Structure 1
Amino acid sequence: MRIPTKIWFQYLSVGVLAFWLNSCGITYNDRSFEFQNEVYYRNFDKAAALIEDNKFLSKKRNRLLYLLEKGKVEHMNANYKESNQLLEEAYTLIENRITSNTGQVIAANLTNPMAAPYQGEDFEKVMIHYYMALNYFQLGMPNEALVEAKRINIKLQELNQKYKKNKNKYAEDAFAQILQGLLYEATGDINNAFIAYRNAEELYTENNSSYYGVHLPLQLQKDLVRTSKQLGFTQEYKKYLKQFNLSENDIHHSPAEAIIFWENGLGPAKDQTQITAVDGAFIAVDDANNSIFIPIPPGTNLGITSIAIPKYVQRESYYKSARLIYNDQQTSFELAEDFYPIARQTLNDRMLREAVNIALRLGAKKATSAGLGALAKQFLGEDAESLIKTGADIAGAATEKADTRNWQTLPATISYARVPLEQKNNTFIIEKYGISTDRDTITIPYKKGLQLVSYYDVGKATTNYVPPTYKIKQDTLPPPRVKKIIAKDSVSRFKLK
């Protein structure tokens, strides 16, 4: 039986509206809850399996997101080779410039940006190289690890160069310089280690000793003093002793040491907020009183004056601080990277650059509602035009949704501590303080030189968790891109005079 045109239009309007009203409140954080929950309880095998089975991540437009989430979980599960293969594919996908096909562009304009392929936030793109660096180091390939560490600030600079206006304020990463310094030390290159440490210290000094929520670490101060002394830079050695108010007794060096990175909590998740136009611009103020101003291009007839934009929501970590206890000594972990202020700043900068795209999306919805109204008038008369047009405007507002996709298995913070190793299996107690006080132990075998070790606290420590004994694995993974990158002088932000 043929459905009358009038009834068909009514079904269409009601159906579209009901579908989108039911689906628009779902964020990527909701869709990824199951595997995040397993990560929270350190069930990394199960988390990896759930990522594989996640229907949302299996969509082609979410390929990058799948690679990032799975690559990080495999890293935490000590599957370093598998992790690097996934992250290498993510890097290649980004370098090939992820593009949308015509259908995806239309869908994104008529519904919301989540219909287009996920391209990643700029700070997520550089964190790929951090985890690849750690993977290579654990695979016994410190030189390749160093190459990846250098790429962090190189990639930040490359990304910023392509923006003509509203460039990223987060254009350099102090922690990346610290990581470079540590890896240079691990390969015996004290001269370049000193330069990297000095580059990091300069970033802190230029920003009143605080960089994106992180204060100048005491360990960085000690590393600068120690390496300047090792190199015989007497002037710099005396300068830093005085500048940091340190004495020679504060500086220790052992032939065998370990850097233990403590990844704590889960990084910020994206939600959305609806904002309306005021005096030619969209203005939003979030819960932390951080404002964002998005100008409306002159002459733009939006029709719909409410837009949805993404916002980062900080997720509280179970633990607030931690320390290492060993051989009747103790040392506290120092904060090295805090992802919430970095994520928030990167997103704000991107929103300013995408003001025109936001206006175009709203304009497309307005044009669609006008077209449906004209079609209704042709078939059903003038009375139906207003009804259908209003319904389409309501549906357009209902589908106005922010892109809430983001790399959700990143930690909230990364802290680190430097400890000496004795000629035995070295056991360290990690004592964490938060809602409760909990302890874990970690064992690191003796090996001359500097080792890098990662330890994870996503949620509350579980009693049945046994952290791995860290070893420098002998597995080999063919190093991609090494020759191309080593040719670049990416080490020195400031050269030695």
Structure 2
Amino acid sequence: MLKILGLSLLFMAGLSGCAYNSVFVNYPSQIAPYKQQLASNSPTTNITALADNISGNDGLLYAQESGRIMQVAGDFEQSKTYYQQAIAAYQAFDDKATISASQLGAGASSILLNDNAIPYRGPGYERIMLHQYQALNYLFSGDAQGALVEVRRSNELQSMEQARYQQSQESVQAMANGTIDAQMAQLGQAAGSVTSSFLNAYSYYITGLLHELANEPNDAFIDYRKAAQITPDNRYLQQDLVRLAKQLAMPQYDEFAKRWGDAVLATANQGQVVFIVERSFVPEKQSITVPFSIGGNWQTASLATYQRQIPLAEQSQIGGLGQTLYADSIAHIDALAINALKEDLPAALIRQAARIYAKYELNQSVQSSSRRASNQVDAAAMVMQIFNVISEQADRRSWLTLPRQAQIAKQFIDAGDYDIRLNNSQNVKIEVKPNRTTLIWAIETGNRTRFYSIII
């Protein structure tokens, strides 16, 4: 009985230590009510309950979610505060040169419980988008210089992630086997034509746009070109490159003009409208659980995965500008998420193998120590196997309020007031001024589309 009691205490200790993480309650089910609220008139209901979790094991993730929810709701100042907490959490991870006692504890818990016991440290694409979104917070709060600081950091992170990705590929090749190959193939199909998590044309485009709005055309050209290398068929990026190459008298101008047509420039009394369109939510990770027996004891192995999604339309219709303007896709955030999981698969499998072995050894230990009291053998073995089954949970954590897809559109139009709409959304009023840029950010969450605009 003492052994059974000890196992029960271990189980309860695991429960008490995960009040603010996903050790036993999968993360998607935790965040689902908040995503539903984003389609309502009260998107920030219960935001305090979510933000209270920022001090917990998954604090970085909750800070990102809280910041995004407040951003979608239009509270850019409060969003900025939450995002800053997430940025600080990433920095704290970076600054830890040695393993702390708390990290050792989390590692030990993950061996007997699951990967959700490890403090959440988001994949690179989430960190890149965090700085991108913080830049938009600064911009829509009237601080263009603060926005530039954030997008420069976003660019630096993309370079760092590229180096990390190359190391990951070496690990994938070294661990190649049937299980890894099957999962890699499935995730590759789900990701479509996107082949990495760190190459984000959306982030490069926002960086280029902010440089251009800050009258830094050379820097803008560099980032637009990076975005175009990732998403080469986006006609708005093509036009940006032609226009800036002509403006800067670059040698590439003739080539670009031949490929994509001459630059479209504003005429007198015209201003520019720039649309950033975000659609839907990134998909949730699913779980694959495989039961098997080792030495007569049942074990389970759980891994996170993504299922193939029904594609979203590559274009959105923008009405109210005289003739219909079509926004073109610039990034599939869902594909970035899928590739991030694919890149992490080798490390996840190493942890999984260690956990399976540790649970098997614990089973053997329990049964061996219980043989002297035969009436306790069956009960101890049963409790241990139940514990193994319910504690084995795939790590399904990810930033779930991110958009699934980003689109852009640009056009020079006559100055004036316009009633615009996106697809079947409600109409909203915007103003266009001569020789100025009106930036419109449209965020679609479920059946609700919110518009935010600023004249620069």
Shorter-chain TM-score bucket reads 0.7 to 0.9
SS in 1 for 2:44: helix
1:192 counterpart residue number: 219
2:202 counterpart residue number: 175
1:224 deviation in Å? 0.9
- 1:332-343 pair list within 5 angstroms: 332-343=326-337
Change (3 A) 1:30 1:243: same
1:223 deviation in Å? 0.9
Which one of 256, 278, 287 corresponds to residue 240 of structure 1? Answer: 256
1:311 aligns with 2:305: yes
- Alpha-carbon distance between aligned partners in 2 of 1:332 and 1:221, rounded to the nearest angstrom: 15
Change (3 A) 1:334 1:398: same
2:265 counterpart residue number: 252
Work out whether residues 71 and 82 of structure 1, in 8 Å CA contact, stay in contact via their aligned partners in 2.
Answer: yes
1:402 deviation in Å? 0.8
Paired amino acid for 1:334? D
* 1:265-293 deviation line (CA, Å, top 9, x unaligned): 1111122112479xxxxxxxxxxxxxxxx
Work out whether residues 317 and 412 of structure 1, in 8 Å CA contact, stay in contact via their aligned partners in 2.
Answer: no
SS in 2 for 1:30: helix
TM-score (norm 2): 0.80
1:134 aligns with 2:136: yes
Change (3 A) 1:358 1:322: same
1:37 deviation in Å? 0.8
2:44 counterpart residue number: 45
- Alpha-carbon distance between aligned partners in 1 of 2:371 and 2:315, rounded to the nearest angstrom: 65
Work out whether residues 51 and 57 of structure 1, in 8 Å CA contact, stay in contact via their aligned partners in 2.
Answer: no
Paired amino acid for 1:424? G
Which one of 113, 116, 127 corresponds to residue 115 of structure 2? Answer: 113
Change (3 A) 1:114 1:301: farther
2:453 counterpart residue number: 470
1:149 counterpart residue number: 151
- Alpha-carbon distance between aligned partners in 1 of 2:134 and 2:7, rounded to the nearest angstrom: 49
1:372 aligns with 2:354: no
**Identical positions, percent:** 20
1:481 counterpart residue number: none
1:55 deviation in Å? 9.3
- Alpha-carbon distance between aligned partners in 1 of 2:38 and 2:30, rounded to the nearest angstrom: 15
SS in 2 for 1:470: strand
1:103 deviation in Å? 3.3
SS in 1 for 2:93: coil
- Alpha-carbon distance between aligned partners in 2 of 1:237 and 1:301, rounded to the nearest angstrom: 70
- Give the unaligned 5+ runs of structure 1: 210-215, 278-299, 474-497
- Alpha-carbon distance between aligned partners in 2 of 1:447 and 1:385, rounded to the nearest angstrom: 83
- 1:312-461 pair list within 5 angstroms: 312-313=306-307, 321-378=315-372, 380-381=373-374, 384-385=376-377, 388-389=380-381, 391-430=383-422, 432=423, 437-444=424-431, 446=433, 448-461=435-448
Paired amino acid for 1:330? T
1:331 deviation in Å? 0.9
1:228 aligns with 2:255: no
- Alpha-carbon distance between aligned partners in 2 of 1:318 and 1:399, rounded to the nearest angstrom: 36
1:90 aligns with 2:106: no
Paired amino acid for 1:185? E
* 1:411-469 deviation line (CA, Å, top 9, x unaligned): 11111111335443343232x1xxxx4443342453743343211111113xxx8x566
Give the superposed CA RMSD: 3.6
1:337 deviation in Å? 1.3
Paired amino acid for 2:393? K
1:104 aligns with 2:106: yes
1:129 deviation in Å? 0.9
Q: Which moved more, 1:160-169 or 1:264-273?
A: 160-169
- Give the unaligned 5+ runs of structure 2: 16-21, 95-99, 171-194
1:73 deviation in Å? 1.2
1:268 aligns with 2:264: no
SS in 2 for 1:263: strand
2:75 counterpart residue number: 79
SS in 1 for 2:447: coil
Work out whether residues 261 and 453 of structure 1, in 8 Å CA contact, stay in contact via their aligned partners in 2.
Answer: yes
Paired amino acid for 1:65? L
Paired amino acid for 2:81? Q
Work out whether residues 56 and 62 of structure 1, in 8 Å CA contact, stay in contact via their aligned partners in 2.
Answer: no
Q: Which moved more, 1:170-179 or 1:27-36?
A: 170-179
Paired amino acid for 1:272? S
Work out whether residues 299 and 385 of structure 2, in 8 Å CA contact, stay in contact via their aligned partners in 1.
Answer: no
* 1:194-231 deviation line (CA, Å, top 9, x unaligned): 22222222344xxxx4xxxxxx2011111111111111
1:166 counterpart residue number: 169
- Alpha-carbon distance between aligned partners in 1 of 2:43 and 2:382, rounded to the nearest angstrom: 49
1:353 deviation in Å? 2.8
1:492 counterpart residue number: none
1:341 deviation in Å? 1.4
- Alpha-carbon distance between aligned partners in 1 of 2:70 and 2:109, rounded to the nearest angstrom: 33
Work out whether residues 265 and 316 of structure 1, in 8 Å CA contact, stay in contact via their aligned partners in 2.
Answer: no
Work out whether residues 326 and 427 of structure 1, in 8 Å CA contact, stay in contact via their aligned partners in 2.
Answer: yes
Paired amino acid for 2:204? Q
* 1:41-68 deviation line (CA, Å, top 9, x unaligned): 353232xxx2322499466102112110
Paired amino acid for 2:254? K
- Alpha-carbon distance between aligned partners in 2 of 1:129 and 1:447, rounded to the nearest angstrom: 31
Work out whether residues 445 and 470 of structure 1, in 8 Å CA contact, stay in contact via their aligned partners in 2.
Answer: no
